[in-house]
Amino acid sequence: MTYYIAPRFLHKLSVHITKNFLDLPGVRLPLILGIHGHKGEGKTFQCELVYDLMGVQTVHVSAGELESPDAGDPARMIRLRYREAADIIRTHGKMAVLMINDLDAGAGRIDGTTQYTVNTQLVNATLMNIADNPTNVQLPGSYDSEPLPRVPIIVTGNDFGTLYSPLVRDGRMDKFYWQPNREDKIGILNGIFEPDGLSKAEIEQLVDRFSKQSVDFFGALRSQIYDEQILSFIQKVGFNRVGSHVVNSKEKPDFQKPDFSLSHLTVRGDLMVKEQQQMEQMRLSSKYNRAVYESEMQMAHSVPAPNISSTSGNGSTQRQEVGKTEPQPYSNGNGKAAKTNISEDVLGQLRNLLTQGYRIGLEHVDQRRFRTGSWASCATVQTQDENEAIAALSACLSEHNNEYVRLFGIDPNAKRRVLESIIQRPDC
């Protein structure tokens, strides 16, 4: 199978690697090349193709290795891998690079809830130090006076805006934004579908049909074409006997070449797109993931509500904010309606929890402790009485009127929280 290397990618990567092995007088070269762009566009795979073409040996570091329960371990590991690549250059006389995949996932700050640990600081500081002193990379507790060969560092990621700014500055890191154009995608798909007999015209139609999809989409599409034969094989041998036929078995199943016609690929691709849309529309993470929900709430509160003018019966003009609801009354037990400071939306959430049989829990936190998630208990309503729950909620909101207040349900059987929701924010 012949794989396609995009010319822009080949030129950028080959120039960066080569110039770091040259002695250019009076020129300060960035040691790090940061390749960033959308997910699934083949950044790492294109790098591997270039390495194979140029005969470059690679020492890898993954984002998952950039954190450890022991402070300092990831930084020391980066130095060890760098020196390992330098040893390949010095002893074997071959070009070598240090490649860190998904750097932003391991050392970046995605949002305000991402912890910035000691290891994150040390990883950033270590990469900055190596970029500034590429021939003098020492290990803790030892010192080697002999200069090391310069080792180019290649890092990939989706969003380098999450990284420590001094690390990505010009002079330390050269940036390359990778987004394959139509010609690149056609070339890549020619390599992917080369064994399947698709013509160039059919591949162009496939690219145009799914023009908004990443390169990985088409690889997954080709894989799914085999699903029908695999399911047929499972049904033939029996679901309870699949393991004996595929694990340590001398007789491997023989599959015929699937239908790789353009029409069949289009049908399967449309099904994959529908699954993507379904996932985007559901947005279940906003219900189950507190961090996502709070981020969305912050965005909602950052947009000022428009004002609507209305004329009262006496001819005066009143202004009302859209999205604001008046406090709702509730029965205080003596047949009279008592005024509360609870909006209709919050009352709806509270009643929904009670209807499902959950107990009511309330917590509060000030603006300083909100950043660390140090919530304090405000009240827990042990009964299913709506009036008692509303009274407790009203008292908590009044007592902590300039703090965050969180409402959640408590499943009495599973002993766990459900449906957490921030119902009050300071100065909102």
39 token code pair: 């997910």
Q: Angle CA(47)–CA(48)–CA(52) in degrees, nearest 5?
A: 120
Q: Output the tens digit of pLDDT for each of the chain's 428 residues.
A: 678 999 999 999 999 999 999 988 888 899 999 999 999 999 999 999 999 999 999 999 999 999 888 888 999 999 999 999 999 999 999 999 999 999 998 888 765 555 668 888 999 999 999 999 999 999 877 788 889 999 999 999 998 988 989 999 999 999 999 999 999 999 999 998 988 889 999 999 999 999 999 999 999 999 988 888 899 889 988 999 898 888 988 888 888 888 889 999 999 999 999 998 888 776 665 555 555 555 555 554 544 444 434 444 444 434 333 334 444 444 444 444 444 567 888 888 888 888 888 888 888 888 877 777 778 888 778 777 888 888 888 888 888 888 888 888 888 777 777 778 888 888 65
d(CA 365, CA 403): 6
Kindly give, in sequence order, each residue whose CB lies less than 8 Å from that of residue 342, ignoring residues fewer than 6 positions away. Answer: 327, 328, 350, 390, 393, 394, 397
Main-chain dihedrals φ then ψ at residue 158, nearest 5 degrees: -95, -45
**Half-sphere exposure of residue 112, counting CA atoms within 13 Å on the CB side?**
13
Largest distance between two CA atoms of the chain? 93
Amino acid at 111: D
Domains and CATH numbers, the chain: 7-177 (3.40.50.300), 189-241+257-282 (1.10.8.1070), 329-424 (3.30.190.10)
Give CA 40 to chain center in angstroms.
12
58 token code pair: 């690679």
